[in-house]
Amino acid sequence: MIKQVKVLDYGSVTLEDFGPSNVELMVVNSARVSHDKHVTELKEEDKKLIEFLLRNRHGTPFEMAEFWFHIKCPIFVTREWHRHRIASYNEMSARYTELPQEFYVPKGKDIRFLKGKQGDYKYEGIDDCQILEYANSDFKHVHRAAWNAYQDMLDMGIAKEVARMVLPVSIYTQFYYKTNARSLMNFLSLRNHPKAMWEIRQYAKAIENMFHMVMPHTHNAFIKSGRTAP
Ligand SMILES: Cc1cc2nc3c(=O)[nH]c(=O)nc-3n(C[C@H](O)[C@H](O)[C@H](O)COP(=O)(O)OP(=O)(O)OC[C@H]3O[C@@H](n4cnc5c(N)ncnc54)[C@H](O)[C@@H]3O)c2cc1C
């Protein structure tokens, strides 16, 4: 099972753990308790039950399955991620820890134009090499200036919690993310979606592959029900 995937330039998703060990059996048994039933192995009818639960949005049995991830991503991705409230988080503290010099710089094809109007936005890649070069040098220039200012303040003995204020949201952070399969499907439906920001979508894709490895029947049923979280 793949447990770690590199994402963007310095980022990663690590599946630290999941539980219980026979996770889909737990989902099925917590649904079957309604009829005082219990099974010891997953049969064809149990896979159908998982599909039924997804289709009819009986979500609570999926709360029995839990996932623990370690995420390394830019702060602007974290800002979007932490809006998902049905989860537990612990993040590296830039009050106590000096941040590493790791800034996200989008690659040429990932620097994009916004086209369209409110409610119907589209993003388009940029062919104009001059614009790409300008953007790239702006990123580098701002990152260098911000990093130098951060280091200068730390050298003067200024507290990390103050010095960090000059750093841009492209700098990397890391956090632990614990959630259950129901909330994870909600995250995937919103963030592994063409309308989601490209950068967070790369993380959601990595997570979705891991979700499939751990809960293949649930994941298949999620897709079959139009990627709607129960
Ligand atoms: C493409 C995109 C654009 C976005 N743009 C913006 C934006 O411009 N500004 C902005 O502020 N946010 C924006 N968001 C964030 C969005 O509004 C949600 O905060 C975020 O996606 C988390 O979704 P959630 O509430 O379903 O997840 P969670 O917080 O994990 O909640 C999961 C589910 O639990 C239930 N729930 C949780 N809390 C409550 C509650 N208090 N009351 C009732 N039910 C609850 C809901 O059913 C919810 O769907 C955007 C998200 C996406 C995907």
DSSP character string of 94-141: TTTSPPPS-B----GGG-EEEEEETTEEEEEE---HHHHHHHHHHHHH
**Residue 184: pLDDT above 90?**
yes
| Model pLDDT, residue 13 | 98
d(CA 74, CA 3): 20
| Model pLDDT, residue 97 | 97
Instruction: For ligand 1, say whether the CB of 183 is within 6 Å of any of its atoms.
Output: yes
d(CA 46, CA 217): 9
Out of 57, 85, 191, 227, the active site residue is 191
Best residue among 190, 198, 199, 228 to mutate for probing ligand 1, ranked by most atoms within 8 Å of CB:
190
State the DSSP code for 158. -
Best residue among 86, 89, 114, 228 to mutate for probing ligand 1, ranked by most atoms within 8 Å of CB:
86
* Digit-coded pLDDT (tens) for 85-110: 999 999 999 999 999 999 999 998 89
Task: Specify the DSSP element, H or E, that contains 143.
Answer: helix 129-155
Instruction: For ligand 1, say whether the CB of 57 is within 6 Å of any of its atoms.
Output: no
Active site residue 191: yes
State the DSSP code for 86. S
**Residue 119: pLDDT above 90?**
no
| Model pLDDT, residue 78 | 98
* Digit-coded pLDDT (tens) for 132-174: 999 999 999 999 999 999 999 999 999 999 999 999 999 999 9
Beta bridge partners of 112: 125
**Residue 2: pLDDT above 80?**
no
| Model pLDDT, residue 120 | 84
30: confidence class by pLDDT, cuts 50, 70, 90: very high
- 105, burial (CB in 10 Å: exposed 0-12, middle 13-18, buried 19+): middle
Beta bridge partners of 177: 69, 89
* Digit-coded pLDDT (tens) for 8-29: 999 999 999 999 999 999 999 9
Residue from 152, 179, 182 nearest 167 by CA: 152
Number of Cα atoms under 13 Å in the Cβ half of residue 199 = 25
Minimal-distance CA residue to ligand 1 atom 11: 83
What mean pLDDT, rounded, does the chain reach?
96
Q: Ligand 1 centroid vs 163 CA: distance in angstroms?
A: 31
Which pair of tokens denotes residue 102? 């790791």
Interval 48-52 mean pLDDT: 98
Instruction: For ligand 1, say whether the CB of 117 is within 6 Å of any of its atoms.
Output: no
| Model pLDDT, residue 179 | 98
Interval 169-196 mean pLDDT: 98
Question: Within 10 Å of residue 168's Cβ, how many Cβ atoms?
Answer: 16
Instruction: For ligand 1, say whether the CB of 186 is within 6 Å of any of its atoms.
Output: yes
* Digit-coded pLDDT (tens) for 203-217: 999 999 999 999 999
Which pair of tokens denotes residue 133? 């070069």
| Model pLDDT, residue 108 | 85
Instruction: For ligand 1, say whether the CB of 195 is within 6 Å of any of its atoms.
Output: yes
> Atom of ligand 1 at shortest distance to CA of 196?
1
SS3 for 196? coil
Instruction: For ligand 1, say whether the CB of 197 is within 6 Å of any of its atoms.
Output: no
